[in-house]
C-alpha cells in the first residue's frame, strides 16, 4: 500500500518534463501516473510531443485496464500554448 487515498472523481495532470525515457517512462512521471490511475483519478499526461506520453499511457492502461488517462498537448514555452491547452482541458 502506498498510503494514497481513493482518488475517484479527482483529476491529475502530469507534465511532460516528468516522463522522457531517461526518467519518467521508467521513473517518477510514469510511476506518478500509475499510482494516480490505480487509485481512481482521471489522469492527463501533458507534453509538447505526443509519442512518449502515448507509450507511457499504453503501458499504464496495460496495468490498470479501466483507468481514465488521456494525452493533453501542452507547450509551456508559450502563453498561447498554455491558453490552447486550457481551452482543450
| Placement of cell 500554448 in the chain | 81
Q: Are 42 and 75 in contact (CB under 8 A)?
A: no
Q: What is the mean pLDDT of residues 3-12?
A: 92
The residues facing 42 across adjacent strands are 11, 68
- Residue 21 has what pLDDT? 44
Cell numbers of 74, please? 501542452
- Residue 25 has what pLDDT? 47
| Placement of cell 502515448 in the chain | 54
- Residue 17 has what pLDDT? 56
Rounded to two decimals, the pTM is: 0.78
- Residue 55 has what pLDDT? 85
Residue 49 has pLDDT above 60, yes or no: yes
pLDDT-derived band at 52 (thresholds 50, 70, 90) equals: confident
Amino acid at each position: 500500500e502506498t498510503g494514497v487515498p481513493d482518488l475517484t472523481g479527482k483529476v491529475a495532470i502530469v507534465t511532460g518534463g516528468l516522463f522522457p525515457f531517461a526518467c519518467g517512462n521508467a521513473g517518477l512521471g510514469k510511476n506518478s501516473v500509475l499510482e494516480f490511475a490505480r487509485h481512481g483519478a482521471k489522469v492527463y499526461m501533458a507534453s509538447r510531443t505526443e509519442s512518449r506520453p502515448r507509450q507511457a499511457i499504453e503501458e499504464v492502461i496495460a496495468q490498470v485496464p479501466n483507468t481514465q488517462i488521456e494525452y493533453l498537448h501542452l507547450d509551456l514555452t508559450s502563453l498561447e500554448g498554455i491558453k490552447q491547452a486550457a481551452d482543450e482541458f
